Structure 1
Amino acid sequence: MSDKCNCFTETLERVKSHLTEQGKVPDGATEVSFRWQGQTHMLSNGEYAPVNPKVEFKFRAPKKGGGHARNMTKSDISILATHCCYCGRKYKKDGE
């Protein structure tokens, strides 16, 4: 087994081929670009997933006097992946 995986690159290439073959990108189109949304750029060395899962959460907060707020509170967080979500291989951190 290789020391590094190329799962994200290979998956993006498969998506590109599939969408092109299905006609989602018309023949003759120019400046065609495929990239992961929410890409991560780490300033430290080591391995990491180029895209990390994002969890969106929302809720209706309780009011002090009873009942609940009219508007929903919405937020999200990103989770730094420690393993490849495709092959399960653990990413190596600095010094490992």
Structure 2
Amino acid sequence: MDTNTENKACNCFTETLNRVKEHLTEQGKIPADAIDVSFGWQGQTYMLSGGQYAPVNPKIEVKFRAAKKSGGHARNLTKNELSIVASHCCYCGREYQRDNG
């Protein structure tokens, strides 16, 4: 494996999606006579600023029961989620090059 990835495009997400597609097809999980078959990342990101980026970024889910002023804790869970914009590819570890404009 070539470790000099500084000036090369990172295609890890595309390659991984293609490997999953091939694997599921070869295993017969996708019927040979199926039509309109599509594969895509859930939660895909589109960045308006240029540069390189991960098309899918890690999502963190937060859940907790808040303390009530009268004591005890709330019956219902408070839920929130946020996404982290990755600065490195989670597959090859290559740092993404961002546009500074």
Show structure 1 runs of 4+ deviating over 3 A: none
TM-score (norm 1): 0.94
- CA shift, 1:22, in A, is 1.7
TM-score, L = length of structure 2: 0.90
Where in structure 2 are the equivalents of 1:51-90 lying within 5 Å? Answer: 51-90=56-95
Q: Which amino acid is the alignment partner of residue 74 of structure 1?
A: K
Residue identity in the other structure for 1:53: P
The 2-side partners of 1:41 and 1:94 are apart by: 15
- 2:33 aligns to what? 28
Q: Does 1:43 align with 2:48?
A: yes
C-alpha displacement of 1:21: 1.5
1:31-78: per-residue Cα shift (whole Å, max 9, x none)? 000000000000011110011110111001110010000011111000
Structure 1 unaligned runs (5+)?
A: none
Q: RMSD in angstroms over aligned alpha carbons? A: 1.0
Residue 58 of structure 1 aligns to a residue in which SS?
Answer: strand
Q: Which moved more, 1:16-25 or 1:53-62?
A: 16-25
Q: Which residue of the partner structure matches residue 6 of structure 1?
A: 11
1:91 equivalenced with 2:88 (yes/no):
no
